[in-house]
Amino acid sequence: MKNCVFCRIIAGEEPANVVYEDDDVIVFRNLLTWAPLMLLAVPKHHITQEQMWGEISKIGPVALRIAQAHCPDGFRLVSNFGPEGGQSQEHAHLHILGGSHLGRYVFTEGYSPA
């Protein structure tokens, strides 16, 4: 898709710091830096988060292997769904977060748990 930054990265039209790539999945460094390690595991074909979870057997093992290699002391695999869930890209992806103790949860400003 022409307006999808992930599709442009996969096509080589946008730069990315790629740490892994095979026929189905690409993993690259996220531009966000609020955790020491922030990678994005992205299926190479444009699908939704829901579709990705239906075929997690392709991206799940790659994300797990990369996370274990980069963060042997622990990590998070995060998948956001929709605007209220924090999803900013329509192209399916998993966040690989780690590199330090990440705390129990991340709350947005102004939110307080009941």
- For 20-57, what is each residue's pLDDT tens digit? 999 999 999 999 888 899 999 999 999 999 999 988 88
Task: Indicate the domain borders of the chain.
Answer: 5-98
Q: Which of 53, 56, 36 is nearest to 96 (CA)?
A: 36
Contact between residue 93 and residue 109 where contact means Cβ atoms under 8 Å apart: no
Instruction: Classify residue 61 by its DSSP letter.
Output: H
CATH of 5-98, one of 3.50.50.60, 2.40.110.10, 3.30.428.10, 3.90.180.10: 3.30.428.10
Q: Looking at 45, 46, 70, 93, which residue is catalytic?
A: 93
pTM: 0.86
Helix (H) or strand (E) holding 10: helix 5-10
93 is catalytic: yes
pLDDT (tens digit per residue) in 86-98: 899 999 999 999 9
